[in-house]
Amino acid sequence: MINYILIDDEPKNIRLLKKMLGEFCPTAHFAGSATNPREGEDLILKARPELVFLDVLLSNENAFDFLDRLLPVNFEVIFVTAFDDYTLRAFRYAALDYLLKPVNIRELITAVDKAAEKIHLTNTNRQLHSLLANLRQPDAASHKLALPNMDSLNFISVDDIIRCQADGGYTVFFMKNGDKILSTKPIKEYEILLPPDTFLRIHHSHIVNLKYVKKYHKGRGGYIEMDGKVTIEVSVRRKQEFLGRFGF
């Protein structure tokens, strides 16, 4: 699936294009719309779309000034325009995709398919770059980790992970900056992937970064306190290994 948003100062254009995408582009998932540049910026930061349909002439500025403020962008753009042939020629020379109003269904499908190919290639290249960077970097804590969800990959620094929590067959990552990131992989895979000198699975549903452990409370298994006053139970069978990491 491709998360997309629509930015157009005409709500009727948004409704029409959303309807067409819903009917003819099943791989495209609507993530929101905006009718002015300020709303568009906020939506991009919130929704983190992979694809943006952008009207060339917005209410109080053009699309190019809008994109200038966002550079570098990490999403594909399909311009929607009623411009003349000279402007369309400029799009062609720049190898950027556009749709001419009124939008043609076949051209819409083709544009979305092309964007999907670019997004897939970009994600593949990021994975390869991450792999090569990790191989060249001897310090495992500085490695990048790719977290897959339903329609994208999140690239995170291993050192920024505070803890991981199982959520059924998925895993939720709790980051140093307060973000929570869902991965569609189970927690057992990350028990293997994460560097064992820093991370430990202390419970069937929890892996923790030992650098962020603040306090241990004794008990049959006991429990720990982490940054943010989060408490996590230590399973009985993991207790000795956990304490051994701290010399007990």
pLDDT digits (tens, 9 = 90+) for 29-86: 999 999 999 999 999 989 989 999 999 888 778 888 888 888 777 888 898 887 765 4
- The per-residue pLDDT for range 99-134, each reduced to its tens digit, is 888 888 999 999 898 888 888 776 665 555 555 555
Is residue 93 scored above 50 in pLDDT? Answer: no
Domains in the chain, ordered, with CATH?
Answer: 2-123 (3.40.50.2300), 140-244 (2.40.50.1020)
Distance CA 234, CA 211 (A): 16
What is the distance between the alpha carbons of residues 211 and 209, in angstroms, rounded to a whole number?
A: 5
- Encode 159-185: b = buried (16+ Cβ within 10 Å), e = exposed: eebbbbbbeeeebebbeeeeeeeebee
pLDDT in tens, 193-225: 888 888 999 999 999 999 999 999 998 889 999
pTM, two decimal places: 0.52
Chain-centre distance for alpha carbon 106: 29
DSSP 174-208: EETTS-EEEESS-HHHHHHHS-TTTEEEEETTEEE
Percentage, residues of the chain above pLDDT 90: 42
Cis peptide before 72 (omega within 30 of 0): yes
